[in-house]
Structure 1
Amino acid sequence: MSEFVIHPLLDTGTISVNDVLCQGHCRHRSAEECARTTHIVFPYRGLYLRHVGSDQSVADANHVLFFNAGEGYQVSHPVDGGDSCLSLAIAPELLRELVPVELLNRPEEPTLRVQSLRIDPRAQALVALLRHSLSHGSIESMEAEGLALTLICRSLGPRTAHATGATQSRRRLVDRVKVLLANDLGRQWKLADIAAEIGGSPVYLTQAFQQVEGIPLHRYHLRLRLARALDRLAHCEDMSTLAMDLGFSSHSHFAAAFKQAYGRTPTQFRAEALSKSA
C-alpha cells in the first residue's frame, strides 16, 4: 500500500486543493523530498515533523506549513496513526500578491522564509469548511476559490500568524510537548503529568510554551481537540460519543467550547459544511 493517498478536490488552473493522507510508517527521517511548486499545507489530523536542514517544525492542526518550490525537506512520524492535510497550491502571481513581503524570501519569488506559522480557530474552521464542502460536492468552484483565498489570507495575516523568537532549545522542548499531547489527544492532562513525561518543572514548561506559541498550553491542547472534532463532524451524528472521545466531560461542555471557538454549535457547523451552496 502506498504511503500517500491523494484525493484531488479542486483544480481551476489558478487554485488546486488536495486532501492528502499519509500512512505515517516512517518513524525516522525520510529520504529528502522536494516540491515542484510551493504548497500551503494545513494538517487537520495527526502529527508529523518536517525537517529542513537543522530546522524542525511540528505539523499539527494548530499550524500551517509552507513547502517551497525547489526546497529539500524530510519528514518523520513520532506518533502512530499517520496524518491528513489539506494542501493548497495557487498560481505564483497570486501567491506573490497574497503573501506579506516580510514573509517572502525575495519579493520577485513566491517562496516563504518560514517553515510554519500558528493559525487561529477561524482558520481551522475554514480548513474544515473547505474540505467538507468540496468532498461532498456542496460548493461551486468559484465559491471554493474564494474560500481558499480567504483561508490563505487569514493564515498569513498579523491577527492570526505567530512567529516565535524563542531559542532552539525551548522550541525543541515545546515540540516534545506537542508530540506527547498528540499521542493521547483525549486525555485530560495535568501540568505535573506533562512535566513528569518531558522533564522540567510545570512552571518552566508553561513559560516556555507561552513564549514559543503565544498562547497557554491548555488552550493549545483545547484547539487540537476541537480541530479533531472539525475533522470528524461530517461523518458523526452522535455528538455525545464524539465529546467523550475527545476528553470533554459532557456534550454540553463540548458544544460550549466548540461554539466559543468557531461561533456555532457542532450541529450547526456540520449542517453548514454539508450544504454550503444550498
Structure 2
Amino acid sequence: MPKFRHQPTAPTRSQWVAPGAAIDAHRHDDHQIVYAARGVLAVTTGAGTWVAPANRAVWVPAGTVHAHHAHGGLELHLVGLSPAENPLGLDEPAVLTVGPLLRELILAYTRAPGDGSPARARLRAVLLDQLRASPQTPVHLPAPTAPALRALCAILHADPGDPRTLAALGREIGASGRTLSRLFRSDLGMTFPQWRTQLRLYRALVLLAEGTPVTTVAHACGWSSASAFIDVFRRAYGHTPGAHLARGGAEER
C-alpha cells in the first residue's frame, strides 16, 4: 500500500457500501472497530487480509494503513476509539467474534453518534466491556514476502480449487516442497494446508455474498463434496454456508 490518506480521527458512524466497492488505503491516529452487519467485509493491510462475515468484526489499531472491500452489499458500522483506549490490548489487526449483545451495542452506538449524553457514555462503557470479552478468531490470510511464496500464492489466488500438492506446485515455480513448507512457517506463520484452507474459506465467503449456490461454492473452492465444505465452514464461522447465504450474510436479529 504505497499511497494512502491520513485521516487523523477514526469516524464513528454507519454507512452503506455498494457490492464490490472499496474504501481506499488510509490510516487513523485512533483505533477502530470495523463491523459489517450485512455482507462480507475484507480489511487489507500490508501484512495481509482479515475477512469478516456478519458475526465477526475487525480490530484496526491506531496508525495501521488499511483498505476496505465490500463483498455483497455492506452495512458497515465503524467505531472510533482514542489511542489511549485499547480494550483488547492489541497492536496488530485481529478478527473478533460478535455475539448478539455486542452486535446490538455496535449498531446502537454507530446509528446515533455524537450526542454526548450520559446514556451514550454508559452505552460506550458496556460496549468496551463486551469488546474486552470478545474472543479472537483466526480469519486472517497473511500476505507472503518471499518471492517463491508470492508466485505460489498467486497461482492459488487465481484458482483456490487447484488440487495440486505443495510439491507439484513447487515444480511449476522451481522450488522444492521442503523449501516451500519451511517458508510457509517462517514467512506466514502457518502451514501450507492451513493457508490454503483460509484462502478457500475467504473465497467461499465472497462467492456466498454474491449469491452463489452452496454446492457450486464447495466445488469452486476445492472441497470434494458440499458436506465436507459445510463442516469446515461451520467450524470456522459458527453457522452453515446455507444459513449464511439465506440471510444475505446478515446475522438474524
Task: Determine whether 1:202 maps to 2:226.
Answer: yes
Deviation readout 1:32-55 (Å, 9 max, x if unpaired): 322232111222233332112242
Report if the CA contact (8 A) 2:18-2:70 is conserved.
Answer: no
Go from structure 1 to structure 2 and tell me whether the alpha carbon gap of 1:59 and 1:164 turns closer, same or farther (over 3 Å shift).
Answer: closer
Q: Which of 179, 191, 202 pairs up with 2:206?
A: 179
Find the counterpart in structure 1 of residue 96 from structure 2: 117
Task: Determine whether 1:221 maps to 2:244.
Answer: yes
Report if the CA contact (8 A) 1:62-1:224 is conserved.
Answer: no
Unmatched 5+ stretches in structure 1: 1-12, 106-112, 230-257, 259-278
Amino acid of the structure 2 residue aligned with 1:208? V
Report if the CA contact (8 A) 2:29-2:83 is conserved.
Answer: no
Unmatched 5+ stretches in structure 2: 1-8, 140-189
Report if the CA contact (8 A) 1:48-1:77 is conserved.
Answer: yes
Go from structure 1 to structure 2 and tell me whether the alpha carbon gap of 1:70 and 1:127 turns closer, same or farther (over 3 Å shift).
Answer: closer
How many residues of Structure 1 are paired with residues of Structure 2 in the alignment? 191
Q: Which of 96, 117, 121 pairs up with 1:145?
A: 121
Report if the CA contact (8 A) 2:59-2:95 is conserved.
Answer: yes
Q: Which moved more, 1:68-77 or 1:168-177?
A: 68-77
Q: Which of 89, 109, 114 pairs up with 1:130?
A: 109
The Cα RMSD (Å) is: 3.7
Amino acid of the structure 1 residue aligned with 2:17? C
Amino acid of the structure 1 residue aligned with 2:118? M
SS of corresponding position for 1:92: coil
Find the counterpart in structure 1 of residue 83 from structure 2: 92
Find the counterpart in structure 1 of residue 58 from structure 2: 65
Measure, in 2, the Cα distance between the counterparts of 1:57 and 1:196.
Answer: 23
SS of corresponding position for 2:137: coil
Find the counterpart in structure 1 of residue 167 from structure 2: none
Please list every run of at least 4 consecutive aligned residues from structure 1 whose deviation after the TM superposition is greater than 6 angstroms: none
CA drift at 1:209 = 2.1
Q: TM-score, normalised by structure 2?
A: 0.60
Find the counterpart in structure 1 of residue 184 from structure 2: none
Q: Which of 55, 58, 70 pairs up with 2:48?
A: 55
CA drift at 1:192 = 3.1
Report if the CA contact (8 A) 2:57-2:96 is conserved.
Answer: yes
Go from structure 1 to structure 2 and tell me whether the alpha carbon gap of 1:162 and 1:206 turns closer, same or farther (over 3 Å shift).
Answer: farther
- The percent of aligned pairs where both chains have the same amino acid is 17
Report if the CA contact (8 A) 1:164-1:211 is conserved.
Answer: no
